[in-house]
Amino acid sequence: MDKDVQAIIDVWHEKVTIPDLKEELDALIAAGDEDKLFDAFYRSLEFGTAGLRGTLGVGTNRMNEYVVGQATKGVADYLNAHYENPTLALARDSRLKGEEFQKVAAGILAANGVKVFLFPRIEPVPTLSFAVRHLGTSAGIVLTASHNPAAYNGYKVYNDNGGQITDEAAAEISANIAAADFFGLECMDFDEGLANGMINWIDDEVIDAFIAAVKKVSIPGFKADESYSVVYTPLNGTGMECVSKILKEIGVDKVSVVPEQANPDGHFPTCTYPNPEFRAALELALKLAEEVKPNLVVATDPDADRMGTAIPHAGEYKLLSGNEMGVLLMDWLINMAEANGEDPKTKVAVTSIVSSTMPDALAKDKGFELRRVLTGFKYIGDQIDQLKDAGEEDRYLMGFEESYGYLVGTHARDKDAIVAVEMCVEMASDYASKGMDLYEAMDALLTEIAGLKVVGMTDFSKGPEMPRVSGLQKEAPQFLPPANVIEYALEGDNKIIFRPSGTEPKIKAYLFAKGATRADAEAIEAKLRAAAEEIFA
């Protein structure tokens, strides 16, 4: 064992008093499990703009009360250096040890002169972002590990705008953390803090105000048809309270909740990876949907900042990707704004540089401004702040990331699955009134190229089956290796393929034209060339 690591282990072995952590450390030492001991103590969890995240357990490289305490001392020192009489809003999701961590954080903040406002029960991440803005606190903390497996917990810090902290703030807090000892930190007794006013419960009025703010972005006059039904799963997380309230606000009374995933449970017993991006997390919801036949299936991740969906189409439930939902919402919202008499050219939508390229085409077609930012929803929140500072907050249309995060409205500065559920229901209802489901609506967004109907699309990045024509074809199908190539099959056996050059900094378009005569084929080829040049432009 490295002697420096062993010295840290010896200090912890002497000073740890929390029963479960002491028991775990004693067991590791008694077993002589040097690999596990080294992994738990060879470094400290790194603090960055996304805060801390790690597996639960004893050690400097784990999430536990001592690591949370040290991080909170770093945050308290930062707030005292930048604010007079600092305040902080504090929340937790359904993760294991969330309540213990919340009390440790509240006690250390209070002991260091930071007045704390904390939610009395688990709440979604977007409610914390909203509470910071609504209460006017100096900062916010939420204890969450988002959609990670049950062994994880985490610690995210928000600035006074309700967005995640900047790189500069993270660096300063990180330096403060490094200077703080794990043991001997001053921590006010929780009940004492409640009694002296340094620790305060957040009133339900804040949740009511959050729901009212979400409802505010609803399409004016919208009320779901009384027959409209939804299957919903909070994946044993925080979404139940707020999703139920917003669905009721927009007239959806027929909500079937997946019973095995309805109650908060940090063990996440029904799926090892509670991430609505993956079909496995929605299996129980899809099974229930086969029984009750809802108009829509929605899932929110444990901290309710991401939403996954499935919609009935052609006799089965189809899942929509984060890109597909983001593009659908963007297109629908700009159409709704235009129908409401607003000029699309005044609107601003935001997405990340790694999200779909389809918003570019939408922006060119509809005339709104599209801004692309780095990955991380804080950058989308920053664009809202820039608009607000310019007195143009009402220009914001929506923002999304391909990882199933959406924000409509300016009530928060982080992705919000609650408003996403509301908007998804309203959009699906609107398309249903036109005889379309969301799957068909997505197909309709790219219906033709050069006047030719798109009849198929192959994304070679997914390693598709190798095309084969005629022959006996007795062998099993072969699959091509993934490649950065997209092919659009067009009516009349025409097609166009896009791929980046392997040797030059450019994108290539390959045009395939078929006509009854050479002249017909050349005419189609000219149209395809013009369409490709427009896309490149």
> Which residues are identified as catalytic?
146
Among 512, 506, 397, 494, residue whose Cα is nearest residue 451: 494
- Gap between the Cα atoms of 55 and 66, Å rounded: 14
Closest CA to 170 of 48, 321, 299: 48
> Nearest to residue 134, comparing CAs of 356, 385, 331, 412?
412
Output the CA torsion sign for 190, 192, 197, 203: positive
Please answer whether residues 148 and 53 qualify as being in contact, where contact means their C-beta atoms are separated by less than 8 angstroms: yes
Q: Is 198 helix (H, G, I), strand (E, B) or coil?
A: coil
Identify the burial level of 262 via C-beta atoms within 10 angstroms of its C-beta, where 0-12 means exposed, 13-18 middle and 19 or more buried.
middle
443, 361 Cβ separation under 8 angstroms: no
Beta strand residue intervals within 95-145, DSSP E: 115-118, 139-143
- Is residue 529 packed enough to be buried (19+ CB in 10 Å), middle (13-18) or exposed (0-12)? middle
Sign of CA dihedral 438, 353, 214, 116: positive
Nearest to 168 by CA among 95, 250, 82: 82
DSSP state at residue 460: G
Question: How far is it, in rounded angstroms, from Cα 224 to Cα 185?
Answer: 53
- Residue 484 sits at the vertex; the CA angle it makes with 481 and 487, to the nearest 5 degrees, is 95
Closest CA to 154 of 163, 139, 164, 144: 144
Q: Which two tokens stand for residue 288?
A: 């229930």
Nearest alpha-carbon partner for 409 in 391, 396, 422: 396
